[in-house]
Amino acid sequence: MALRMPLRRVAPLIRPATAAARSFHSTPRALVKVGDEIPSIEVLHETSPGNRVNLAEEFASSDGYIVGVPAAFSGTCSSSHIPSYINSPKLKSAGKVFVVSVNDAFVMKAWADQLDPAKQTGIRFLADPSAAFTQALDLGFDGTAIFGGVRGKRYALKVVNGKVAAAHVEPDGTGYKGELACPFFAIVRREHRSLPRAWLRGLTRLQSAAATIPPTTRKRKAAEATILSPTRETTSNKKPLASAAKVEAAPPTPVTTGMDSDDDFMSHGSSDDELLLDDSGDDMSGPDDFDDEDFDEPDPEFGLGSKELEAPRRQAHIVPFKVFDPADIQKQQDDIVDEVNMILNMSKEDAAILLRHFRWNKERLLEDYMDRPERVLEAAGLASTTTEPPQLEVIPGFMCDICCEDGDDLQTFAMKCGHRYCVDCYRHYLKQKIKDEGEAARIQCPSDGCGRILDSRSLDLLVTEDLVDRYRELLNRTYVEDKDSFKWCPAPDCPNAVQCSVKKSSLDRVVPTVECRCSFRFCFGCPNPDHQPAPCEQVKRWLKKCADDSETANWISANTKECPKCQSTIEKNGGCNHMTCRKCKYEFCWMCMGPWSEHGTSWYNCNRFEEKSGSEARDAQTKSRTSLERYLHYYNRYANHEQSAKLDKDIAQKTEKKMVQLQSASGMSWIEVQYLNSASQSLQTCRQTLKWTYAFAYYLARNNLTEIFEQNQKDLEMAVENLSEMFEKPVADLSDAKLKVDIMDKTSYCNKRRIILLEDTATNLAEGEFFP
Amino acid sequence: MALPKRIIKETERLMAEPVPGISAIPHEDNLRYFDVEIHGPASSPYEGGIFKLELFLPEDYPMTAPKIRFLTKIFHPNVDKLGRICLDVLKNNWSPALQIRTILLSIQALLGAPNPDDPLADDVAKHWKADEQAAIEKAREWTRTYAQPQPQPAS
Ligand SMILES: [Zn+2]
Ligand SMILES: [Zn+2]
Ligand SMILES: [Zn+2]
Ligand SMILES: [Zn+2]
Ligand SMILES: [Zn+2]
Ligand SMILES: [Zn+2]
């Protein structure tokens, strides 16, 4: 309840009696009338049958609304009405809001969890299992044909001082034909679509809208957090609280808006035409309302759209990202599984299999499932699922086809496909898959050609103790590995993942650098560590160039390539040009690196290769024309800083020792000696940046920007060298307070120079000034 | 290590009910190693040829696929110079429920229907594409040259 309180802002919605009469006039068949008291009966259930609610009592202390819907999860209300209501800025001024439906408490709760998982809206979902409340208002209708019993009409009642102050009842009780007449429509209007797709989209949008901070805010928050303290940026498990806080912090809706709303509520008739017309000219569908754009991407979207780049507080060289620890990742998975489990009404095991099958693309799963459920189930290996738990069986006279054993006490197992094998063989098979092949999510029935995928319940039964951990880990990994916006932190032994939604197409304009909580800095766009300011493609070219003179390098470029999709290195063995990436299973052509599927008709000779070879040959020529001296100029500096960076690492290790010594020698506290640690950290980070400025400069065409860049480079170089010198001081000197201040100054100057350089470079890069 | 029951059963069955056009005989000193002969399927360029292959059942067979390659030279887009075969069931699509018998049948089928979408031998495939008729003729020629039944050494 505590979270709901802030929402109940008092907004006296006074309406003229004439308006009420008009409104009532439009719903002549409704028996509840303006002025009626809310029936004082304790028949409504909230959350569970034990928790009874009396609406007369609820409205004794506060005004508000009662909204009736024919059924929980009913398409129209789920897609548009309740979502639009939940997202309406006017909700805050609505008082208590109850949604009532003739359903049992559990269904109602499930629906509520679906629509408002964070419980941020304050809307309360009440079940009217016996239809007693609905019938007391005489708002029931015989829904036997559709629902198998009495159901409530779609209605909305405004309650003031415990009495009905306005009533809006859908004339057509079944509601499904006249969905535009939904009373919610009169409160907050929004596009109405009745297709299942739209319904699902509505649900998923709503999920992301309700479960998190509104996206615009979220984006900004993420950006701020990153700027202020990249190391601290973590994901919060307390999303509901965060969003509740956000709602609370929002400025109160002006009363005039509330008046408008009420006016709308009162004056709109229920004819479809009228509402339809009205919808187009609605003053409430402005930007403050429910901005569609924000909900088009259900995943937290940190894309680098123009919006992002324009954000005033956003620094050009910083991309928003989030760090997730294993528990976060687990929770995200669980949530999305729960959601699919709820929407599609299937077991969690099956929902998880489907999600993995769709590589955690929930939207695609839902859409495909809606279109062709059977095909989706079949493809995911779930055809003809029943809910019986899997079990081991002893079948007399059975012989296992894999090992040919046939003992009378042979334990056997089969999934629903009926392909039965002995448990030993099954386990042996799973061990092979899990341990040797690293598979988990898509292990198929051992039978040849049977695509059925082993569900997690069967696996729980079969996977031996020693493999369980590995199996779970592999399953978990699919969540991160299947998503383009996730990456594992490459630091050794770091279990975290980082999310960053930089688009591949923007990698020439942005260098998406992220920092894990373990403090490892790496590039999200390619497999390299932090290489700002140089863009990924440049880095790749540069590294290749630098390595070109070694024999090994030549072999690597001839015999290995990177998977065009996941960038893992693939070694070619054998003559076959049909490559399948071991990691992401992407199939491509070795010759042209294009998708294999496009080679269907031109079956061997790859025409695309000819074009490519031509352009590569031209590239090679260009390269040869490049002056070797110019290259060496930059290379030597780059290599020099790389060498120094290695020494800096030693310094970092020595610094830790120094810090200990300093504490005992000078009596400084652990906190007081932290400045040395910061200095050593920035030295490493700045050195890394400096190193890459030389690769960047090598590819830079000479113009007036180059000069600014080189000046920035020089400044950073000076700053780095000055800071570097400080580490040559003996420990004894470090206890000098003046030196400490000096080091701290040099550290912050170094950081500042780095930011200036990166910011400048990133801005120009983003605007295409460097490499138009 | 004793031979697994599965291998014994498969071998027995291969001997007792041989597949038409295919023979697989285990070495006496190594029952995991088979001499295989496959007759070229009718109305294919390999018709009339008898192709020798070697087949080995690795330690963890049937969890992993048998190792198999042509010993007889063959002009086929899915077989490379070393006799290695590009066949999905020998790679990603292996299932422990598959058997020597089924694998050999698949290879026989591959002879009848070269799979040009998945070439293993670049030059052969190139040839096949450039001039299918000539390639088929060459396959016939190789069959006549290399895969003619030879008098079995008495054994
Ligand atoms: Zn068995
Ligand atoms: Zn099966
Ligand atoms: Zn990390
Ligand atoms: Zn990169
Ligand atoms: Zn190609
Ligand atoms: Zn192949």
For chain B, which domains are there?
5-146 (3.10.110.10)
Residue of A nearest to B4 (CA): A403
Give the least confident one: A182-186, A509-513, A591-595, A684-688: A182-186
Distance (Å) from the alpha carbon of A354 to chain B's nearest alpha carbon: 21
Residues of B with CB below 8 A from A575's CB?
80, 119-122
Distance CA(A634)–CA(A456), nearest Å, equals: 55
Express each pLDDT in A138-160 by its tens digit: 887 776 655 557 777 778 888 88
> Are the C-beta atoms of A669 and A663 separated by less than 8 Å?
yes
Is B29 an interface residue toward A (CB < 8 Å)?
no
Confidence of residue A295 (pLDDT cuts 50, 70, 90): very low
**What is the model's pLDDT at position A4?**
43
Q: Is the pLDDT of residue A218 over 70?
A: no
Average pLDDT over residues A666-670: 83
Give the integer Cα–Cα distance in Å for A245 and B12: 75
CA of A454 to the centre of ligand 2 (A): 9
Mean pLDDT of all residues in A503-511 = 88
Which of A406, A603, A605, A610 should be substituted to probe chain B, the one whose Cβ sees the most B Cβ atoms within 10 Å? Answer: A603
Among the options B25, B50, B71, B86, which is catalytic? B86
pLDDT at A240: 39
What is the reported pLDDT for A757?
95
Q: What residue spans of A344-385 are helical by DSSP H?
A: 348-357, 362-371, 373-379
Lowest mean pLDDT among A607-621, A700-714, A756-770: A607-621
- What are the structure tokens assigned to A448, written together? 């040849």
Chain A residues whose beta carbon lies within 8 Å of the beta carbon of residue B105: none
A&B contacts, CB < 8 Å: 73
Quick one: pLDDT at residue A210? 40
A578/B contact by beta carbon, under 8 A: yes
Q: Which residue of B has its CA nearest to A433?
A: B63
- pLDDT of B117 above 50: yes
Q: What is the mean pLDDT of residues A366-370?
A: 91
Q: Which ligand is the nearest neighbour of the Cα of A496?
A: 3
Distance from the alpha carbon of residue A281 to the mean position of ligand 3, in angstroms? 52
**Res A296: pLDDT:** 36
For residue A428, the model assigns a pLDDT of 92
pLDDT of residue A717 exceeding 70: yes
What per-residue confidence (pLDDT) applies to B111?
Answer: 93
Section B82-109 average pLDDT = 90
- The pLDDT of residue B31: 93
Residue A603 CA from chain centroid, whole number? 39
Going by the DSSP 8-state scheme, the letter that residue A9 receives in this structure is -
Contact A604 B129 (CB under 8 A): yes
Query: Is A446 within 8 Å of B92 when comparing Cβ atoms?
Result: no
State whether residue A419 sits within 8 Å of chain B by CB.
yes
Q: Which residues make Cβ contacts (< 8 Å) with residue A166, sequence separation at least 6?
A: A15, A19, A20, A23, A24, A34, A157, A158, A262, A265, A266
Question: Chain B: nearest CA to A578, how far in angstroms?
Answer: 6
State yes or no: pLDDT of A624 exceeds 60: no
Q: Does B50 touch chain A (CB under 8 A)?
A: no
The alpha carbon of residue A600 is apart from the nearest alpha carbon of chain B, in Å, by: 7
d(CA A269, CA A617): 73
pLDDT at position A394 is 92
Q: Answer whether residue A517 shows pLDDT above 70.
A: yes
pLDDT in tens, A34-64: 888 888 888 898 888 788 888 888 888 888 8
Task: Give B21-75 pLDDT, tens digit per residue.
Answer: 999 999 999 999 999 999 999 989 999 999 999 999 999 999 999 999 999 999 9
Q: What's residue A600's pLDDT?
A: 55
Determine the average pLDDT of the residues in B125-139. 87
Q: Is A157 helix (H, G, I), strand (E, B) or coil?
A: strand
* A50/B contact by beta carbon, under 8 A: no
Find out if CATH 3.60.10.10 is the number for domain A346-483. no
Residue A128 pLDDT > 50: yes
**Residue predicted with more confidence, A249 or B107:** B107
What Cα–Cα distance (Å) separates residue A655 from each residue in A136, A525, A719? 78, 32, 19
- Residues pairing with A497 in the sheet: A324, A488
Domain A7-169 architecture: 3-Layer(aba) Sandwich (3.40)
Question: Given this model, what pLDDT does residue A183 score?
Answer: 44
Which residues make Cβ contacts (< 8 Å) with residue A522, sequence separation at least 6?
A489, A490, A491, A513, A514, A515, A516, A528, A529, A530
In this model, does residue A249 exceed pLDDT 50? no
Higher pLDDT: A190 or A151? It is A151
Does B77 contact A432 at a Cβ distance shorter than 8 Å? no
Ligand 4 centre from A508 Cα, in Å? 10
Predicted confidence at residue A599, as pLDDT, reads 61
Q: Tell me what the mean pLDDT of segment A591-606 comes to.
A: 59
Q: What is the mean pLDDT of chain A?
A: 72
Report domain extents, chain A.
Answer: 7-169, 346-483, 538-766
Partners of A422 in the beta sheet? Answer: A412
DSSP assignment of A412-479 equals: EEE-TT--EEEHHHHHHHHHIIIIIS---TTPBPSSTT--PBPPHHHHHHHS-HHHHHHHHHHHHHHH
Q: Which of B63, B101, B120, B131 is the best substitution to test chain A (most A C-beta atoms within 10 A)? A: B63
pLDDT single digits (tens) A377-427 = 877 767 665 556 788 999 999 999 999 998 888 999 998 889 999 999 999
| Rounded Cα gap, residues A770 and A712, in angstroms | 15
3-state secondary structure A65-112: EEEEECCCCCHHHHHHHHHHHHCCHHHHHCCEEEEEECCCHHHHHHHH
Given a cut of 90, is residue A87 above it in pLDDT? no
Q: Which ligand is nearest to the CA of A425?
A: 1
Q: Does A446 touch chain B (CB under 8 A)?
A: yes
Q: Is the pLDDT higher at A359 or at A292?
A: A359
pLDDT recorded at residue A421: 95
pTM as predicted: 0.46
Strand segments, DSSP code E, in A94-193 are: 96-101, 124-127, 140-142, 150-152, 155-160, 163-169
Q: Give the C-alpha separation, A149 to A101, whole Å.
A: 13
Which ligand is nearest the CA of A523, by number?
4
- CB A682, CB A746: distance < 8 Å: no
Assess A433–B contact: CB distance below 8 Å, yes or no: no
Instruction: Kindly state whether A427 is in contact with chain B, defined as any CB-CB distance less than 8 angstroms.
Output: no
Residue B86 annotated as catalytic: yes
**CATH 1.20.120.1750, applies to A538-766:** yes
Here the ipTM equals: 0.83
**Highest-scoring range by mean pLDDT, A117-131, A269-283, A724-738, B103-117:** B103-117
d(CA A375, CA B25): 44
Question: Cβ atoms within 10 A of the Cβ of A102, count?
Answer: 28
Give residue A214's pLDDT.
Answer: 41
Residue A619: per-residue pLDDT: 55
A44 C-beta neighbours (distance < 10 Å), count: 24
